[in-house]
Amino acid sequence: MATYYLEPSRTFSEFLLIPNLTTKECTPANVRLKTPLVKFKEGEEPAISLNIPFSSAVMQAVSDHGMAIALARCGGISFIFGSQSIEEQTQMVRKVKGYKAGFVVSRSNLTPQHTLQDVLDLKEKTSHSTVAITEDGTASGKLLGIVTSRDYRISRDPLTKPIHEFMTPFSTLIYGQSGISLSEANNLIWEHKLNCLPIVNDQQNLEYLVFRKDYDAHKENPLELLDGNKSYIVGAGINTKDYMERVPALVEAGVDALVIDSSDGYSEWQRETVQYVKANFDVKIGAGNVVDREGFLYLVESGADFVKVGIGGGSICITREQKGIGRGQASAIMEVVEARDQYFKETGIYVPICSDGGIVHDYHITLALAMGADFVMMGRYFARFDESPTRKLRVGNNFVKEFWGEGSNRARNWQRYDTGGKSNLLFEEGVDSYVPYAGSLQENLDKTIGKIKSTMCNCGATSIEELQRVARITLVSATSLVEGGAHDVILKESSLSEESH
């Protein structure tokens, strides 16, 4: 006879936090969000900790090297998507590990033969106001000049005007030579009142750009997630098919942590993959996803350094709809956390839990942490930002970014889902969609973290560990959900909608 779980499968939206006494010490400035990424023994420090409890999802539309650098700068970690060739994925890992804070590879490049219209089109696409003009239009070509918004006037210059007629030519540029230190570069920026300093090699080929704003950003990001060599920490997603070829290449590239990317992690394939990695490499590996005690213990006993929890709760995931498999994210977290705490009590080994999926509102992150998750993994949240790798498009009067699931045909990620060795997807477990464009990662992350810290203060906690110990959580009814929003009033139209009429 089948086993029945007659308690309803709960989501985060069915719970609220009940305030505890907020002491004078409980201010957002005193809240610390440091959290373990990988397992550790009681009384010892984890090999890798996050400075904020955020990781970006293992998705083509979310986690490339650009996102990994941006999120590590803020204190979190990205797991670079594995649904690409081994060479391309390892190249992304190398870009993150080789990235020198403050030294940016130019992402907006044109040739002198391009026109002002090309500059404006590129600016619309990338939001970058500085364009490097190189001989071949690449990021590493011979630098011939720079174009900024001060070099042209849209009201006076024809859109067909060639760039070489209005760019600031190399002969008049202040630049740095290859090998210059960040402090020396910043000294040049301040001395010459520059916004941007190009760095070139002996052949005049462009290597990096150093921006004044990045100097300020470096000072503003004390939580940067760095390894012992002052390089950014980065993760990578792997599958259970080509791991014997992919993992050695990723380790050689310098990856700090791996995670098996799968919609269902309770499998012998995952056990074999984890055991292979632990037997052959000194690299941390997470596994998942699971939604119950049995799945968690199976992966932990296989050697997993952390476990991802959640099946079917992602915004673009239709696994539950297609296969009838999954569980409400809150119910899954509660059961797995109970198993994790019992395992810790029995063995003295603490295995971090990553809550993956089911997060709609910012307060759901705080709920996931209060319920016992150590960090969250999000896709839609990060896909909205400038730093995600997808295109920014205009749909109607709004800007959006493309967002598709790893289980969609667009991702062609059959190795993640197929278990029979076929080379194509028989059916999809994800959709292809848009998400509203939201601007820069840091600006949005600061707002979200501000909410989390404020809520933690209401709960009388100044750390995630304390929140998990003292949090009081209540189920809510359907009518209390209505009560929690604006009700029984006539809302004024926002200034945004007024302007659009």
How many residues are there in the chain? 501
Identify the three-state secondary structure at position 254. Answer: coil
Q: Is 62 exposed, middle or buried (0-12, 13-18, 19+ CB in 10 A)?
A: buried
Phi, psi of 49 (to 5 degrees): -120, 150
As a whole number of angstroms, the longest Cα–Cα distance in the chain is 81
**CA-to-CA dists, residue 227 to 23, 98, 206, 251, angstroms:** 35, 12, 27, 15
Which amino acid appears at position 186 of this protein? N
E-assigned strands of 357-491? 375-378, 392-395, 398-404, 432-436, 472-475
Contact status, residue 384 vs residue 240, Cβ threshold 8 Å: no
From the list 317, 354, 457, 459, the catalytic residue is: 317
* Beta-carbon-side half-sphere exposure of residue 478 (alpha carbons within 13 Å): 0
Distance CA 90, CA 97 (A): 10
Identify the three-state secondary structure at position 391. Answer: coil
- Could you check whether the bond before residue 289 is cis, i.e. omega within 30 degrees of 0? yes
Return contacts of 87-93, CB within 8 angstroms, 24+ apart: 87/249, 89/236, 89/246, 89/249, 89/250, 90/249, 90/250, 90/252, 90/253, 91/253, 92/64, 92/65, 92/68, 93/65, 93/234, 93/236, 93/250, 93/253, 93/254, 93/255
317 among known catalytic residues? yes
List the structure tokens of 244: 């014997």
Q: Provide the b/e sequence for 358-391 (b: ≥16 CB within 10 Å).
A: bbeebbbbbbbbbbbbbbbbbbbbbbbbbbbbbe
Identify the sign of the CA torsion 355, 416, 279, 54: negative
Q: Which residues partner with 115 through β-bridges?
A: 162
Identify the three-state secondary structure at position 109. Answer: strand
Residues in Cβ contact with 39 at an 8 Å cutoff, skipping those fewer than 6 apart: 46, 304, 305, 306, 349, 350, 351, 352
Contact status, residue 435 vs residue 322, Cβ threshold 8 Å: no
Identify the three-state secondary structure at position 368. Answer: helix
459 among known catalytic residues? no
Contact status, residue 238 vs residue 248, Cβ threshold 8 Å: no
From the list 26, 196, 416, 459, the catalytic residue is: 416
- Catalytic residue set: 317, 416
